[in-house]
Structure 1
Amino acid sequence: MTTATIEPAIRVQGVKKSFKDLNVLRGVDFDVQPGTIFALLGSNGAGKTTLVRILSTLLKADGGTATVSGFDVAAQPGQVREAISLTGQFAAVDEVLTGRENLVLIAQLRHLKNPGAVADELLARFSLTEAGSRKAGTYSGGMRRRLDIAMSLIGDPSIIFLDEPTTGLDPQARIEVWDTVKQLAQGGTTVLLTTQYLDEAEQLADRIAILHKGTIIQNGTLAELKKLLPAGGEPVLVEKEPSLEDVFLALVGEPAETDAAEAATTRKASR
């Protein structure tokens, strides 16, 4: 009797990328299972955005292979784009249009039937119905990001890339986005999340990979990563469970210096 193997939604094997003499990715390997939240955790300049741009077919790798939804990102970019959605570090909404008009516009560009019904369903799903007739420029940071994610879901992509989705948001807005990401996974969407916020990875991820100096130095569940810290030292009255921050700093040490090429790539992507 054989058991069917579930094909990873995302598979990355030996991916490398350099910008002139700067090696940003030095051979990255990981799998992401369907319907899960996978957090790619790393300091500024670790190569997170570069990897997302490769997986979303916006950038070509120098070496290695990657498949998304079973399609090779280098050989089958069109099929990959049909299967994914990418939400960058800054909300890409038109602030002159209302929330509903933003959604209708994207539905029309995707040639979907009944764009208005698509927009209304997403407004309800993301608790934006009452704000749907307001200009997006009047939205709070959390509402604007939720609208941005809603726009990304038009066309029902099976995989969504969220690149630093809570950058610049206040604590309440971050919680709103976290709830949205959890709902996506509960609905069966595969989420690859890049973040430098340790609490974000702790709150959201089924698995966490730590990207440091261009390679994955650890990959596992939160519980597995916490076990990496050795027990020891003098006994104390209250034993504190190690946090992801403790694990991250123990593995990475001093924060990595910002990679100029990575930063430049990020700025171009946001324009």
Structure 2
Amino acid sequence: MLLELQHVVKRFGGVTASSDISFSVEEGQIYGIIGPNGAGKTTLFNLITGVYQVSEGDILFQGTSIEGKKPHEITSLGIARTFQNIRLFPQMTVLENCLVGCHTQLHSGIWSSVFHTKGQRQEERKAQRQAMDFLKFVGLDQDADTIASSLPYGKQRKLEIARAMSTHPKLLLLDEPAAGMNDSETAALGTLIRGLRDTYHVSILLIEHDMNLMMDLCDRLVVINFGKKLAEGTPTEIQNNPAVIEAYLGKEDEE
């Protein structure tokens, strides 16, 4: 198992946002989290990435607890994420945004950077090559010198993914990457996500409301409702689960 959530609880004062959530993500899986708005899906991402700390339970990454670690420490361990609302550096170029993600691979100190030592220059060239490789993979290499804020919406989503990948994660968390996309863009995104898994051997944890995409893409799914785990299983099992149909996918009206 790559990631394990063990009876995770998160409270905000008197409000319980996540209640006794347990599931595991295996290496090489595309694992989906679905549920209504406000179900607590993004809260789980914030717990996994160290933005929030769990109130009870534990989160293991590669068999070791990451509870109490700061976000940058968790990133260095091999977990990267994108956000529901795009968070780029708007006045930086596409390449510069992607280079920001390379920081976990750089080891030169302040003085090496000030004096541009040979080792620092080699690291910088390597980072630029790797950043360009990720941009090419998502189809943004021709936009490398473009200011990020001037990109159309779909390309900004791809840039977020490229920046997250530039940290060389073992686990990539994607928070509603298809939001605002049309059908053709969503289909291309599904192909891109599979390509990331197959090419870079990264496991993916995915939040998304597009049920067609999720059922087609994910190996397993967990359903969250009102902060609680409602069901877990393969896409076929989830589609045929009566509780899921009633709570989220929609209950058919009786004639």
**Pairwise same-fold verdict (TM > 0.5):** yes
Provide Cα deviations, 1:194-214, integer angstroms capped at 9, x if missing partner.
123322311321101111122
Offset, 1:81? 2.7
Q: 43-52 or 170-179, which moves further after superposition? A: 170-179
Give the corresponding residue for 2:245. Answer: 249
Provide Cα deviations, 1:101-148, integer angstroms capped at 9, x if missing partner.
322343357527222212221122112122223222232222111111
CA distance in 2, matches of 1:15, 1:138: 40
Give the corresponding residue for 1:81. Answer: 75
Contiguous gaps of at least 5 residues in structure 2: 108-122
Offset, 1:254? 7.3
Give the corresponding residue for 2:163. Answer: 151
Structure 1 runs (4+) greater than 6 angstroms displaced: none
Contact preservation (8 Å) 2:75, 2:169:
no
Give the corresponding residue for 1:68. Answer: 61
Q: 163-172 or 138-147, which moves further after superposition? A: 163-172
* Number of residues of Structure 1 aligned to a counterpart in Structure 2: 231
After the TM superposition, which residues 111-260 of structure 1 pair with which residues of structure 2 at under 5 Å, given as runs? Answer: 111=106, 113=123, 114=125, 115-187=127-199, 188-228=201-241, 248-252=244-248
Normalised to the residue count of structure 1, the TM-score between the two structures is 0.77
Letter in 2 for 1:145: R
CA distance in 1, matches of 2:190, 2:52: 28
Contact preservation (8 Å) 1:89, 1:166:
no
Q: 155-164 or 219-228, which moves further after superposition? A: 219-228
Contact preservation (8 Å) 2:94, 2:146:
yes
CA distance in 1, matches of 2:42, 2:178: 14
- Secondary structure (helix, strand or coil) at the match of 2:142 reads coil
Give the corresponding residue for 2:116. Answer: none
Offset, 1:56? 0.8
Task: Calculate percent identity across the aligned residue pairs.
Answer: 22
Offset, 1:217? 1.3
Normalised to the residue count of structure 2, the TM-score between the two structures is 0.81
- Cα-Cα RMSD: 2.3
Contact preservation (8 Å) 1:24, 1:47:
yes
CA separation of 1:80 and 1:100: change in aligned 2, threshold 3 A: closer
CA distance in 1, matches of 2:249, 2:104: 46
Give the corresponding residue for 2:93. Answer: 98
Contact preservation (8 Å) 1:207, 1:219:
yes
